[in-house]
Amino acid sequence: DQQVKQNSPSLSVQEGRISILNCDYTNSMFDYFLWYKKYPAEGPTFLISISSIKDKNEDGRFTVFLNKSAKHLSLHIVPSQPGDSAVYFCAASSNAGNMLTFGGGTRLMVKP
Amino acid sequence: DVKVTQSSRYLVKRTGEKVFLECVQDMDHENMFWYRQDPGLGLRLIYFSYDVKMKEKGDIPEGYSVSREKKERFSLILESASTNQTSMYLCASSFRGLAKKDEQFFGPGTRLTVL
C-alpha cells in the first residue's frame, strides 16, 4: 500500500502559466516533505522541502503548500518554463529515521 | 558540490548471473541508500546503511544484498539476477545530522537489463 501517492502521472502546461503538482500521504507520522526533480538519464535532484510545522515554503518560482488535515501537499511553479519539463517526485519522512518514502512521480511537460 | 557516482550507466546481464552495482560518494555522508525506479511506482528503497558494516532492509530487499566496507562506498549485489530485476537503480547518500537531515543526493543511475 503506497503511503505517498501522486495521482496524476502526467501534466501538460503552457509556458508562462502555473504548474500545480499534487501529492497525498496516509501516514500521520510523516513530518517532513520534499520535492525532487528528475531529468532523463540523471538522478533526482532536491528542489524544495517543508516541515510539518509550516504550511507554506517558497523558493523563487517554486512554492510548496502543506495541508496537514487533508494530508495533502502541492508544488506550484510560477511561471512555468520549458526547462521545468521533468518528472517530479514527492517524498516524505518521519522523525523515526532518515529514510524517505517516495510517490510514483508526475511527468510535467511545459510547452513553449 | 556533493558527488555520488555509480560504476555503470548501462548494464546488460543474463538470468542467473551475479551482478554488482557500485556507488561512491565524496562528501563523508553517514547514510547511503539503494533504490530502484520503475514507471508508476516511483523510487522504492531496497537497502539503507547508516554506517560502515551496518545495513537495514528497505521496502523490497528480496533478491538483493548489500555491502558497506568503507564509508564512501556502498555496493548492491544481485545474487542471481532475474528478469523482474530489470530496472533503473539509483544510489543516494545523506548526512545523519538534524540539519537538512532528509535531503538525499543521488547518483546518475544504472539502467540494468536482465535477459
Confidence at A99, pLDDT banded by 50, 70, 90:
confident
Is the CB of residue B104 less than 8 Å away from at least one CB of chain A?
A: yes
Point out the residue among A36, A43, A93 whose CB comes nearest to the CB of B107.
A43
Q: What pLDDT does B96 receive?
A: 78
CA dihedral of A96, A54, B42, B95, whole degrees rounded to 10: -50
At residue A105, does pLDDT exceed 90?
A: yes
Instruction: Tell me what pLDDT residue B2 has.
Output: 65
The pLDDT of residue B23: 97
C-alpha Rg value of chain B to the nearest Å? 13
Query: Residue A96 in 3-state DSSP?
Result: coil
Select the more confidently predicted residue: B99 or B14.
Answer: B14
User: Would you call B50 and A98 a contact, using CB atoms and an 8 Å cutoff?
Assistant: yes
Query: Cell numbers 510548496 label which residue?
Result: A64
Share the mean pLDDT of chain A: 94
Contact A62, A49 (CB under 8 A): no
Which residues are registered as beta bridge partners of A54? Answer: none
Buried/exposed A48-66: b ≥16 CB within 10 Å, e otherwise: bbbebeeeeeeeeebbbbb
| Mean per-residue pLDDT, A71-81 | 98
CA–CA distance, B53 with B69 (Å, rounded to integer): 6
What is the pLDDT, as a whole number, of residue B97? 65
Contact B48 A99 (CB under 8 A): yes
Strands B19-25 and B64-70: unpaired
Question: For A72-76, B4-8, B98-102, which range has the lowest pLDDT when averaged over its residues?
Answer: B98-102
Nearest CA-CA partner of B90 in A88, A42, A104, A36:
A42
Q: Residues B17-60: pLDDT tens digits? A: 999 999 999 989 999 999 999 988 899 999 999 999 999 999 99
For chain B, give the mean pLDDT: 92
Nearest chain A Cα distance for residue B39, angstroms: 7
Alpha helices per DSSP H over A1-112 = none
pLDDT at A41: 83
| pLDDT band with cut points at 50, 70 and 90 for residue B98 | low
**pLDDT category of residue A98 using cuts at 50, 70 and 90:** confident
Residue A85 to residue A63: CA distance in whole angstroms? 17
